[in-house]
């Protein structure tokens, strides 16, 4: 039974006690066999509260649907993880919307609005400090045709994860996050036929592409109240230690730790992201390329090693193929034995079909990881995989 009525200008719904759920906001008791009254309106925080109401012969309650929230069930160990991933996904989507707005502002020649950037970067920082793995997982769920929007958001997430791992001060982390969020804003000034070319750029086209760094610097410089650090790391993200980077061929003695960090984050995301015309590399392959760049004095070798430890050999949310021909998603790290994390299997490569999801602790199993893989290798959609596993949870 559901009866819609209006109370205090809010939509209040009377629901049967059997429909009451954790997270609902109860305004008052409806029908009952007795005279029980609430001491105060509020959220249902556990199933025990619902059972208590049922024991008092309460048949209906009035809830305010606009105030419903998601509260993890403490009896379900995966519920907290799922709730945090949903929150992280909301932050990531909000970040993309803000990035889209920034591009429009930049194209119109207007100064970009900084306050929404700072606000959403702080949401990301808070989420990462609460659970670093939740946003790291979401960064692995990307849309092939939204690379321009998602890349800067992902680099901002990566540098926040990296800075937290290095125990940098919170105010420094905010400035790094904001600078990373804005670092590619100048790409709005690059012609579409070059920016989105599905193939290798000619020398002339690459010369034009490289000017995006100069455009980013010019746009960020005009942004009211931007910090010097945010501007600096945006300016340095394509510089190399040997002085062969761009736009200013800055050499290593003039590239500070923060500039070296964003270069690593920027390259890593570019390597791992799948685009319409390019498949992303699995994480182990991308880490190998970072190490090779460090050996060639393009990247800081010590920081590359720290970054790999920060992200993890097999990051949360990445896909692996097990020796049993199953595909699995990494759900929990094992810091004592990084190659034996906890995973959730869901797909059989041999029969090319989904199977019942199964939690596997590789440290206690005969299964082991054969290799890191990408969803595209099996014509699978990473977004759908995450949604399916979350529903299963």
What distance in Å separates the CA atoms of residue 221 and residue 156, rounded to the nearest whole number? 19
Q: Which two tokens stand for residue 3?
A: 């009866």
pLDDT by residue (tens digit) across 307-358? 999 998 888 888 899 999 999 998 888 888 888 999 999 999 999 999 988 9
Look at residue 80 in the predicted model and tell me its pLDDT.
66
Paired with 329 in beta bridges are 319, 344
According to CATH, what is the number of the domain 79-311? 1.10.3210.10
Residue 55 pLDDT grade (very low, low, confident, very high; cuts 50, 70, 90): confident
Q: What is the pTM of this model?
A: 0.77
How far from 245 is each of 1, 152, 291, 392, CA to CA, in Å?
A: 67, 19, 17, 47
Least confident of 49-58, 177-186, 320-329: 49-58
In this prediction, residues 235-257 reach a mean pLDDT of 97
In this prediction, residues 17-22 reach a mean pLDDT of 88
Could you identify the residue written with the tokens 């919307």?
A: 97
SS (H, E, C) 290-342: HHHHHHCCCCCHHHHHHHHHHHCCCCCCCEEEECCCEEEEEEECCCCCCCCCE
Helix (H, G, I), strand (E, B) or coil at 13: strand
Look at residue 72 in the predicted model and tell me its pLDDT.
56
* Domain range list for the chain: 2-67, 79-311, 319-392
Please return the burial class of 165, using the count of CB atoms within 10 Å of its CB with bins 0-12, 13-18 and 19+: middle
Helix (H, G, I), strand (E, B) or coil at 63: strand
- Whether 206 shows a pLDDT value over 70: the answer reads yes
What distance in Å separates the CA atoms of residue 64 and residue 61, rounded to the nearest whole number? 10
CA angle centred on 184, ends 179 and 185, rounded to 5°: 90
Q: Show Cβ contacts of residue 177 under 8 Å, excluding neighbours closer than 6 positions.
A: 121, 124, 125, 156, 159, 160, 163
What distance in Å separates the CA atoms of residue 101 and residue 95, rounded to the nearest whole number? 10
């Amino acid at each position: 039974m559901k009866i819609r009525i209006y109370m205090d200008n809010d939509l209040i719904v009377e629901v049967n006690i059997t429909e009451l759920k954790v997270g609902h906001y109860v305004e008052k008791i409806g029908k009952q066999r007795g005279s029980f009254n609430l001491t105060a309106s509020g959220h249902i925080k556990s199933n025990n509260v619902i059972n208590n109401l049922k024991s008092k012969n309460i048949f209906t309650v009035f809830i305010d649907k606009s105030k419903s929230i998601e509260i993890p069930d403490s009896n379900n160990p995966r519920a907290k993880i799922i709730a945090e991933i949903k929150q992280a996904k909301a932050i990531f989507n909000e970040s993309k919307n803000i990035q889209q707005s920034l591009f429009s502002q930049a194209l119109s020649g207007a100064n970009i609005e900084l306050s929404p950037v700072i606000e959403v970067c702080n949401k990301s920082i808070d989420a990462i400090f609460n659970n670093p793995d939740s946003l790291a997982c979401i960064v692995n769920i990307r849309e092939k045709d939204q690379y321009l929007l998602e890349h800067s958001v992902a680099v901002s997430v990566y540098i926040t994860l990296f800075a937290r791992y290095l125990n940098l001060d919170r105010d420094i982390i905010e400035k790094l996050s904001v600078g990373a969020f804005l670092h590619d804003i100048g790409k709005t000034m690059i012609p579409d036929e070059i920016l989105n070319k599905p193939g290798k750029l000619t020398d002339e086209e690459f010369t034009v592409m490289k000017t995006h760094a100069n455009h980013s610097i010019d746009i960020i410089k005009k942004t009211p109240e931007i910090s010097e650090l945010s501007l600096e790391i945006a300016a340095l993200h394509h510089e190399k230690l040997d002085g062969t980077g761009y736009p200013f061929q800055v050499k290593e003695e003039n590239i500070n730790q923060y500039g070296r960090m964003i270069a690593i984050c920027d390259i890593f995301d570019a390597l791992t992201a799948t685009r319409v015309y390019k498949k992303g590399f699995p994480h182990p392959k991308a880490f190998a390329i970072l190490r090779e760049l460090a050996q060639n004095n393009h990247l800081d070798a010590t920081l590359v090693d720290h970054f790999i430890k920060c992200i993890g050999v097999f990051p949360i949310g990445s896909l692996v193929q097990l020796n049993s021909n199953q595909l699995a998603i990494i759900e929990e790290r094992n810091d004592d034995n990084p190659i034996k994390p906890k995973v959730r299997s869901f797909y059989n490569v041999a029969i090319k079909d989904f199977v019942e999801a199964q939690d596997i602790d590789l440290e206690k199993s005969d299964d082991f990881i054969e290799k890191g893989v990408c969803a595209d290798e099996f014509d699978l959609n990473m977004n759908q995989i995450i949604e399916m596993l979350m529903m299963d949870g």
